[in-house]
Amino acid sequence: MTVPEQLRTPRLLLRRWRTTDAAVLAPILEANVAHLTRWIPARVATPASAEELVNRLRSYVAAFDAGREWRYALVAPERLIGEVSLFPRNDRKRVAFDAEDADHIEIGYWLRSDATGQGFATEAARAAMELALSLPGMSRVTIHCDEQNTPSAALPQRLGFEHVETIEELAHSGVPAARLQIWEYKRH
């Protein structure tokens, strides 16, 4: 399955990550570590050396090419502001898109703190949702969100998602235990 390498919205370019993004990403993660680490996995949010970020971005590129996940850098006129990601899933976990039991897509997103409150995450998530629903066999999309992250939980509501359950998530990948809201959008 091939997904586009980039998407455009009225204000954003969503493009697959490149290893050359490491130099720009490093100071963003450094400046936003407190803003991000509470909500997203440490393997994504933690500041790192340029070499470590190149390796991290290389893994994103490989996963994109393999259809395991599609991570897009969010660029608002010439400025990197965050990420939106699509993760093929079954009801238990993330899986490769070509897995027999992949039946929906989970959308993830993050923004640097100075880009929040401007509708960028909603715009990017809408584009990701439209892409997800265009993929063969995908008729629903989910967003998993810490119930304490009120601004993030407002996003799926704006896009017409329904809150289907709240689950206890154990600590993992540097993210503390949390109560996660599961939001779902089904194609009508």
Beta strands at 79-89 and 70-76: parallel, antiparallel or unpaired: antiparallel
- Residues 127 and 84: beta-carbon distance below 8 Å: yes
Which residues make beta-bridge pairs with 168?
A: 179
- Residues 152 and 145: beta-carbon distance below 8 Å: yes
Query: Residue 91: helix, strand or coil by DSSP?
Result: coil
Model pLDDT, residue 176: 67
Model pLDDT, residue 84: 98
Q: What is the pLDDT of residues 50-101, one digit of tens each?
A: 899 999 999 999 999 998 999 999 999 889 999 999 999 888 887 788 877 8
Indicate the range of 40-44, 78-82, 134-138 predicted with least confidence: 40-44
Supply the pTM of this predicted model: 0.92
Angle at 59 between CA 34 and CA 93, to 5 degrees: 75
Considering only CA atoms, which of 86, 87, 85, 72 is closest in space to residue 14?
72
Instruction: With cut-offs at 50, 70 and 90, classify the pLDDT of residue 113.
Output: very high
Segment holding 23, helix H or strand E: helix 22-36
CATH topology of domain 6-186: Aminopeptidase (3.40.630)
Q: CA Rg, the chain, in Å?
A: 15
